[in-house]
Structure 1
Amino acid sequence: MAFFVITGGSGTIGTTIAPRLIADGHRVRTLDAVKAPDDATWEHVVAEIQDVDALTKHFAGADIVLHLAGYPTERAWNDILTVNIDGTRNVLEAARVAGVQRVLLASSIHAVGFARAADVRDVEVLPPRPDTYYGVSKAAMEALGSLYADRFGMTVVSARICQFGDRPTDTLGVATWFSPGDAVRLMEAAAALDRPGHAVVWGVSANRPGWFSTTAGESIGFVARDDAVAVLERDGEDRGMPDERGVIGGSFASDDHPVGQEW
C-alpha cells in the first residue's frame, strides 16, 4: 500500500478520493490552506502552496504527491500565475527536495479546450490549445512536469481531468465524465509506476461516446471502468449524445466566459 500526500485536499476531488484511498488500505495526508472537513478521517495539515519549506516537510516519506491545489476556474492573470503556475513549481520542487519520486499533477481538459471532439479520438496526446488563463496554467503545469521528469529523473503524470463528479451533470458530461472510482484507479496506477518520465493522460471514464484515446492511460496501468451512459440509463435519464463538432472545453471557450474574469 502507498502513502499519498494530497495538496488541495479540502477541495471537491480531494475530499472525495481520500476516504476511497483509505478504504483501499492506503495512508493519506492532505494539505490545504484551510482546515479539513469536520468529518475527515485522515491526517490533515494546514499549509500554503507558496511555502516550499512547509511543503517539503510534509511531503517527506510519501510514495506520491497528488497535486490538486489551485484555482479550479478562470481568474485574473496574477492570481492564476501565483497559485496555479508558481504553486505547481513549488510542489514539484518540494517533492524533489523531499525525495518523493512520483507526482500526479491535476491538469485539465481546458489545457486543450479549443480542440474539437471530432479531432481528439485518434490522438494519444493533444498539443496545448488552452481556452482560458486557467487552461494556460494547466499547459504550464504539464511543461513543468516534463521538466522535472527529464531534469531530475522523477515520475510525473499530468492527468487532464475532465468533468469530475458522482454523475455527469450535462450533455457534454456524457462524453467527458470522470467518476470518483476511475479517479482513484488513475491515482493508484500513478503510485505504482516504477519508471521515470512524464506521461500526459486523460482523466476521464470509459464513456460510451469514446471521444478520448485510452492509449496513454493504459501505458501507465490506468484502465477506466465507469460509463456515463450506463449511469444515466440506470437512473432513467436520456440526455442524448454531445455534438462532436463542438470544442471539448465547452462553456470555458464561450464568449460568455471572458478571459481573465472570475465566473
Structure 2
Amino acid sequence: MTGGRTGREVVAITGASGRIGRRVAPLLDRPGRVLRLVDVDLPDRPEDGPWGALEHLELRPASIEDDDGIRAALDGADAVVHLAALASEAPWADLLRVNIDGTRKVLEAARLGGTRSVVLASSIHAVGFADPADAAGTEVLVPRPDSYYGMTKAAVEALGSVYADRYRMSIVSARICDFEPEPGPGRGLSQWLSPGDAARLFEAGIALDDGRHHIVWGVSANAPDGYDLRAGRAIGFEPRDDAVAFATARDGAPPEAAVRPGPIGGYFADAAHPLGERW
C-alpha cells in the first residue's frame, strides 16, 4: 500500500492525543510512512507534542463530529486507525453523537478519501456480559454489551461490517481489553493489552487488503490464556507480550493467579453502575 499523492503510505490516526494514541502512534512510525494525527486537541507544532521525534508527521486538527473537517483530515489516507470516542459510560445522547455517528462520519470520510483499510477501536464491553469460558473457547463472540457504552461499540462493529461488505473496504474491529503500559493484578493479567501488541494489532489491520470485516481481540498473549486468539492470528496479528511474564520480571516473583469471577466486563456489568451515567 502506498500513498499516491505523497509517494509514502499515509496512516491517519483519529483520537491521536488520547490514552492509546499518544503511546502507540510513535510505535507505528516506519520508513516510507506518513503518520497523520487527527484530534481536536493537538499542539501547534509537531515538536511540541509527544511525537516530536517522528520524522514524517502531519497534524490535522479535526473533530469526528464535523463532516467537512473529518473528510478533509482523512482525504488521501491509505489506512485509518480510528481511536476517537467517549471511552466509558456516558449519557445516551453523547454516546450516540460521538461513538456511533462519529464513527459513521469517519468511515464515510475514509471511503470518500480512498482509504482501503480501517482499524476500528471496539471494546471488550461490546461482549461484557460473556462468561470467561466463552471468551476462552469461542473464536468470535456475539455481542452481549454490558452498558450503553458497550452497545455503541457493538454498533461500531456493525458499521464496520456494512462498509466492508458494501464498499469492499478491509476493516478490523478490535475488541480492546485492558490497555495499559503495565498489567494490573487479578483480572488484568488475562486482559492486558500492551502498547507493543496494540501496535502489532494496528499494523496487521493497516496491511490488510481483503475487502472483509474482521472482529478480533485486542489482547496480549497472556499466560492465563483467557481469550481465543484465532481470529487475530488469521489476519496476521501475533501478540508477543505476556502479563504474567512481565509481572514476574518486574516484581521478582510470579503474580497470584488471575481471579475472573462473573462477566468479563467486570464492574461495567455491575448493576451498581447505572446505565447512561458517567462513572
Determine if the TM-score, normalized by the shorter chain, exceeds 0.5: yes
Q: Report the residue type matching 1:176 in the other structure.
A: Q
**Mapped contact 1:112–1:127 kept (Cα < 8 A):** yes
Match 2:49 to one of 25, 32, 38? 38
Separation (CA, whole Å) in 1 of partners of 2:219 and 2:265: 14
**Mapped contact 2:248–2:255 kept (Cα < 8 A):** no
Correspondence 1:262 to 2:278: yes
Separation (CA, whole Å) in 1 of partners of 2:30 and 2:254: 33
TM-score (norm 1): 0.95
1:238 positional shift: 4.5
CA-atom RMSD, angstroms?
1.5
- Deviations along 1:20-73, one digit per CA (max 9) or x if unpaired, are 111676321111111246333242221111112221222122221000001011
- Deviations along 1:67-92, one digit per CA (max 9) or x if unpaired, are 00010110000000000010010100
Structure-2 residue corresponding to 1:144: 159
Match 1:153 to one of 156, 168, 173? 168
- DSSP 3-state at the match of 2:136: coil
**Mapped contact 1:52–1:93 kept (Cα < 8 A):** no
Match 1:127 to one of 127, 132, 142? 142
Structure-2 residue corresponding to 1:67: 82
Structure-2 residue corresponding to 1:57: 72
- DSSP 3-state at the match of 2:262: coil
Correspondence 1:7 to 2:14: yes
Match 2:116 to one of 93, 101, 108? 101
**Mapped contact 1:118–1:244 kept (Cα < 8 A):** no
Tell which deviates more after alignment, 240-249 or 165-174.
Answer: 240-249
Alignment of 1:203-222 (within 5 A): 203-222=218-237
1:16 positional shift: 0.5
Structure-2 residue corresponding to 1:252: 268
Q: Report the residue type matching 2:232 in the other structure.
A: G
Indicate the percent of aligned positions where both proteins have the same amino acid.
50
- DSSP 3-state at the match of 1:199: strand
Change (3 A) 1:144 1:18: same
Q: Report the residue type matching 1:119 in the other structure.
A: D
TM-score (norm 2): 0.90
Separation (CA, whole Å) in 2 of partners of 1:116 and 1:95: 35
Separation (CA, whole Å) in 2 of partners of 1:240 and 1:22: 36
**Mapped contact 1:116–1:244 kept (Cα < 8 A):** no
Separation (CA, whole Å) in 1 of partners of 2:261 and 2:133: 6
Aligned length in residues:
263
1:95 positional shift: 0.5
**Mapped contact 2:13–2:38 kept (Cα < 8 A):** yes
1:131 positional shift: 0.6
Unaligned runs of 5+ in 1: none
**Mapped contact 1:185–1:222 kept (Cα < 8 A):** yes
Structure-1 residue corresponding to 2:177: 162
Correspondence 1:20 to 2:20: no
Unaligned runs of 5+ in 2: 1-7
- DSSP 3-state at the match of 2:137: coil
- DSSP 3-state at the match of 2:162: helix
- DSSP 3-state at the match of 2:29: helix
Separation (CA, whole Å) in 2 of partners of 1:249 and 1:44: 35
Moved over 4 A (4+): none
Q: Report the residue type matching 1:40 in the other structure.
A: W
